[in-house]
Amino acid sequence: MNKKRKKLKDENLKRKNKRAINFNNHELVVLDKYCNKYKVNNRSQFMREIIMTAILKKFSDDYPTLWDQPGIPLQPTLRF
């Protein structure tokens, strides 16, 4: 990979966009307990990974397959 292309790839991977998450008191206590119990040092990375995992799982679950199409029975109906 040439230097120009590598630099462009590195630029695309930089985290420049911000989003804020607000927690109520109970949620924050639970998050703090979890991070302390499982020794999570980087909370932003932890939340980013959890959010992206949930999104990718949902995309994967919603991806249409041949057998998930409406109107196509999973088992053939036998009529005599």
Q: Half-sphere exposure of 52 toward its Cβ, with a 13 Å CA cutoff?
A: 6
The total number of structural domains that make up the chain: 1
Residue 12 domain flag: no
Name 43's Cβ contacts closer than 8 Å, sequence gap at least 6: 31, 35
Residue 66 domain flag: no
Q: Which domain holds residue 52?
A: 22-61
At residue 79, the pLDDT reads 59
Q: Kindly report the length of the chain.
A: 80
| Mean pLDDT (10-residue bins), the chain, 80 residues | 75 88 97 97 95 92 70 56
Cβ atoms of 67 and 74 closer than 8 Å: yes
Residue 38 domain flag: yes
At residue 21, the pLDDT reads 94
Residue 79 domain flag: no
Residue 57 domain flag: yes
Instruction: Please state whether the predicted TM-score (pTM) of the whole model is above 0.75.
Output: no
Q: At what angle do helices 25-37 and 43-62 cross, to 10 degrees?
A: 100
Residue 28 domain flag: yes
Residue 69 domain flag: no
